[in-house]
Structure 1
Amino acid sequence: MDLRLNPVTAPLTSRPAGAARAATGAVQEAGFAGALSGALKAVSAAQGDASTLQREVQLENPNVSLEQTMVALQKAQIGFQATLHVRNRMVQAYTDIMNMQV
C-alpha cells in the first residue's frame, strides 16, 4: 500500500478546471481525493488477497503457506485500521469546522 502523493509537474495556467482535467486525461485524480481513493482501493485489494489466501489454506492448497496467509491478513488488518483512523480524523475535522462560530 503506497500512500505517497505524486508531485504536480504541470504549470499553473488560467484554463478552466474541466479543460485541465480533459487535457491530462482522466487517468489519475489529483490531490487528496485521488490519494484517498487510491488508498481505499489498495486496502480493499489487500483484504481481497488475504481472503483468497485464507480460503486456499482452508482448502489445504499445498502452494499456499500459513505464514504467507498470516502476513497478508496482518497487512490487511493494519491497512483497515489506518483507514479507520483517517476516517475518524476527517469526521472530527468536519465536526470542528461545523462548530466554529462565524
Structure 2
Amino acid sequence: MTVINTNSVMAMRAAILQQNAALREASSAADVVSSPLSGTTRAGSANFGTAMKSALSEVNALQNQSSEAAAAYERGETTDIAAVMLAKQQASIGFEATLQVRNKLLSAYKDIMSMPV
C-alpha cells in the first residue's frame, strides 16, 4: 500500500502552478516582441530579456532542487523515491525545453545572418 504525503503533493502542485505562470509571462513577452505594429522597439526586447532570464533561473532552480533531492535520498534523509524521480524529470524537461529554445534562436540568427543585404 502506498502512502501519499500531502505536503509533497501540494509542493509539487505549487511548483507546477509557478512554472505555468512563468510560461504565461514568457508568452505575453513574446507576443509584445513579435508584434511589429506595437511601436515598442527597446521595451519589447527588455521584456523578452527579462522573460528569458526568469526562465533560465527557474531551470537552474529545478536543477538544484533535483540535485538536492537526489543527495537527500542517497544520504537516507528521505525514502520517497517517487518525489526524487519527479524532481529529476522536471529538471530534465526544463533543460530540454531550454535547449530547444536555444537551438531555435541560433537557427533564426543563422538565417538572418545568411540573408543577402
The reply to whether TM is greater than 0.5 is yes
Which residue of structure 2 lines up, in the alignment, with residue 31 of structure 1?
A: 47
Unaligned runs of 5+ in 2: 1-18, 30-41
* Cα distance between partner residues in 2 of 1:78 and 1:99: 32
TM score, norm. by length of structure 1: 0.73
Pair member with larger Rg: 1
Residue aligning to 1:56: 72
User: TM-score, structure 2 length as denominator?
Assistant: 0.64
Shift of 1:5: 2.0
Runs of 4+ residues over 4 Å off in structure 1: none
- Number of residues of Structure 1 aligned to a counterpart in Structure 2: 83
1:87 and 2:107 matched: no
* Paired-residue identity, %: 39
Q: Which structure is higher in RCO with an 8 Å CA cutoff and minimum separation 6?
A: 1
What's the offset of the Cα at 1:30?
4.5
Structure with higher helix content: 2
RMSD: 2.3
